[in-house]
């Protein structure tokens, strides 16, 4: 490091699902410009899915196996997603950087660089005190295309695997080959096929479809009613009771219908309607792997009494009353954005509720 560096720290943010050649190019560029580089690995504490096949620890291992740097120059940290609270995510990024740079108090020049895509304008809005570096390359690498190659199940033959070899560094390719031998891979492959076939069934539609769903958040005596999904996608994951809205159905009625069908809840619809405390639309564009899906969630609150008996049925393999204080234990086992939906209602409608999902995490 004989030359004078442009930055004290450069923050590189990405999901790295998995690490590919363009990621490595951008991290190498950051190392050439800063005394230290901090790589923030996003989408941590989430379950394995076809879109998020690898844990944060596995993605750290990929980075450390490939990116060469002098000891202490490359720091790696995990970041949770905060899909419906961007200010909270920005604050957590700042807190993480402050902790990692605490040994150098005083004025530091910090820059931020996206590892994936081009998010320059958005990053400038979120990090006005930092220099935002636009990518200096014109390459484009679709993570979904990369994962399609990873999940090729023989239909594409050897060419698909050869394509994967050209997109990722050799150590990562070796890791991916080993992962293909695991039970986790077989489960993800089944989900990938399900989503692929689901999308194909809509491929003849004149426009990309937009699906509408309704979910129920029922909090009863400091417990929340959850289900375990019985089918792909997300088989075995915790979820809110809910589903697709019928053509001639009101949204609230859809949420109540799904709640009763999936949990056999012995509470009358009118009683539940009287306990409605909040409703919200959740429309993160990539919230569902099946396609653009907008959900309307309804939050019901029964403050006291014994939670009634329930039983998983219909699409639910299990229904269970989960104490609010235990929710954080299941953060990495939630379907799609359902943990984030719960987090939203517990922060906005129950600000002093015990066991707020991600509080202090």
Q: Which residues pair with 41 in a beta bridge?
A: 14, 78
Tens of pLDDT along 191-200? 999 999 999 9
Residue 155 confidence (pLDDT) above 80? no
When pLDDT is cut at 50, 70 and 90, the band that residue 357 belongs to is very low
User: How large is the average pLDDT for residues 214-241?
Assistant: 96
Range 218-232 average pLDDT: 95
Question: What per-residue confidence (pLDDT) applies to 358?
Answer: 42
| Residue 185 included in any domain | no
Mean pLDDT computed over 55-66? 95
DSSP letter at 326 equals G
Domain of residue 96 covers: 7-137+149-179
Check residue 353 and give its pLDDT. 47
- From 63, 68, 59, select the one nearest 32 (Cα to Cα): 68
CATH code (residue 306): 3.90.79.10
pLDDT at 142: 79
Q: What mean pLDDT comes out for the span 287-316? A: 94
Q: Do residues 171 and 257 share a domain?
A: no
| C-beta of residue 150 within 8 angstroms of C-beta of residue 188 | no
The verdict on residue 198 lying in a domain is: no
- Cβ–Cβ < 8 Å for 194, 233: yes
Counted domains in the chain: 2
Question: Is residue 341 one of the residues assigned to a domain?
Answer: yes
pLDDT at 351: 60
**pLDDT tens digit sequence for 13-37:** 999 999 999 999 999 999 999 999 9
Report the SS3 class of residue 342.
helix
> Do 31 and 171 fall into the same domain?
yes
- CA gap 124, 140 in Å, rounded: 21
Average pLDDT over the chain reads: 90
Determine, yes or no, domain membership for 144: no
Where a domain ends, among 158, 179, 200?
Answer: 179
Q: What percent of the chain has pLDDT over 90?
A: 76
Q: 228 and 169, same structural domain?
A: no
| pTM (two decimals) | 0.89
Choose one of 159, 179, 199: the last residue of a domain: 179
Model pLDDT, residue 153: 58
Identify whether residues 159 and 290 lie together within a single domain: no
Q: Is 201 within the bounds of a domain?
A: no
Same domain, 175 and 287: no
25 within a domain of the structure (yes/no):
yes
Confidence check: pLDDT of 337 > 80: yes
Same domain, 153 and 21: yes
Domain membership flag for residue 20: yes
Task: Determine the average pLDDT of the residues in 56-74.
Answer: 91
Please give the pLDDT value at position 350: 78
Compute the Cα dihedral for 38, 340, 222, 331 and give only its sign. Answer: negative
Indicate whether 119 pLDDT > 80: no
Section 281-301 average pLDDT: 96
Higher pLDDT, 163 or 4: 163
The CATH number of residue 68's host domain is 3.40.50.620
Residue 216 has pLDDT above 50, yes or no: yes
Same domain, 316 and 243: yes
What was the pLDDT predicted at 160? Answer: 60
On whether both 231 and 154 belong to a single domain, the answer is no
- Are both 216 and 301 inside the same structural domain? yes
Q: Identify the pLDDT of residue 207.
A: 92
Same domain, 218 and 282: yes
Same domain, 235 and 157: no
Q: Which residues partner with 77 through β-bridges?
A: 40
Question: pLDDT value at position 157?
Answer: 53
Min mean pLDDT across 163-172, 220-229, 231-240, 345-354 is at: 345-354
Q: Identify whether residues 169 and 247 lie together within a single domain.
A: no
**Class of residue 37 by CB neighbours under 10 A (exposed 0-12, middle 13-18, buried 19+):** buried
Closest CA to 42 of 74, 9, 16, 11: 16
Cα torsion through 172, 178, 181, 182, rounded to 10: -80
pLDDT over threshold 60, residue 121: yes
- Three-class DSSP category at 300: strand
- Distance between CA 7 and CA 32 in Å, rounded? 10
pLDDT in tens, 122-134: 888 899 999 998 8
Q: Please say if the pLDDT value at position 76 is more than 80.
A: yes
Which residues 6+ apart lie within 8 Å of 110 measured at CB? 7, 8, 9, 10, 11, 97, 101, 129, 130, 131
pLDDT band at 71, cuts 50/70/90? confident
What pLDDT was estimated at residue 355? Answer: 41
Does residue 324 register a pLDDT over 90? yes
Residue 186 lies in a domain: no
- Distance linking the first and last C-alpha atoms of the chain: 37
Q: What token pair was written down for 339?
A: 């943990």
How many Å apart are CA 192 and CA 151, to the nearest integer? 7
């Amino acid at each position: 490091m004989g030359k004078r560096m442009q930055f004290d720290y450069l923050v590189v943010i990405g999901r790295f699902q998995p690490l590919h050649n363009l990621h490595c190019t951008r991290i190498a560029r950051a190392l050439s410009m800063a005394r230290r580089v901090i790589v923030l690995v996003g989408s941590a504490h989430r379950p394995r899915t076809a879109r998020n096949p690898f844990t944060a620890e596995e993605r750290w291992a990929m980075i450390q196996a490939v990116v060469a740097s002098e000891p202490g120059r490359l720091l790696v940290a995990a970041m949770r997603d905060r899909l419906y609270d961007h200010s909270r995510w920005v604050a957590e990024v700042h807190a993480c950087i402050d902790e990692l740079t605490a040994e150098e108090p005083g004025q530091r020049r910090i820059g931020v660089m996206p590892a994936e895509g081009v998010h320059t304008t958005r990053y400038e809005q979120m990090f006005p005190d930092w220099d935002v570096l636009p990518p200096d390359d014109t390459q484009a690498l679709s993570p979904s295309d990369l994962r399609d190659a990873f999940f090729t199940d023989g239909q594409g033959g050897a060419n698909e695997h050869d394509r994967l070899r050209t997109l990722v560094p050799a150590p990562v390719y070796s890791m991916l080959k080993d992962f293909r031998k695991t039970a986790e891979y077989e489960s993800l492959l089944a989900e990938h096929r399900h989503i692929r076939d689901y999308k194909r069934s809509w491929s003849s539609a004149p426009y990309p479809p937009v699906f509408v769903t309704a979910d129920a958040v029922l909090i009863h005596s400091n417990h929340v009613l959850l289900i375990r999904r019985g089918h792909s996608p997300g088989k075995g994951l915790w979820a809110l009771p809910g589903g697709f809205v019928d053509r001639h159905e009101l949204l609230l009625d859809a949420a109540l219908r799904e709640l009763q069908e999936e949990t056999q809840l012995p509470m009358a619809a009118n009683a539940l309607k009287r306990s409605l405390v909040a409703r919200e639309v959740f429309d993160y564009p990539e919230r569902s792997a099946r396609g653009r899906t907008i959900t309307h969630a309804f939050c019901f609150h029964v403050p006291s009494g014994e939670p009634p008996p329930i039983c998983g049925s219909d699409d639910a393999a299990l229904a269970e009353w989960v104490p609010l204080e235990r929710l954080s234990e299941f953060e990495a086992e939630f379907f799609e954005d359902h943990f984030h939906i719960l987090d939203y209602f517990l922060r906005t409608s129950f600000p002093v509720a015990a066991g707020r999902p991600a509080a202090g995490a």
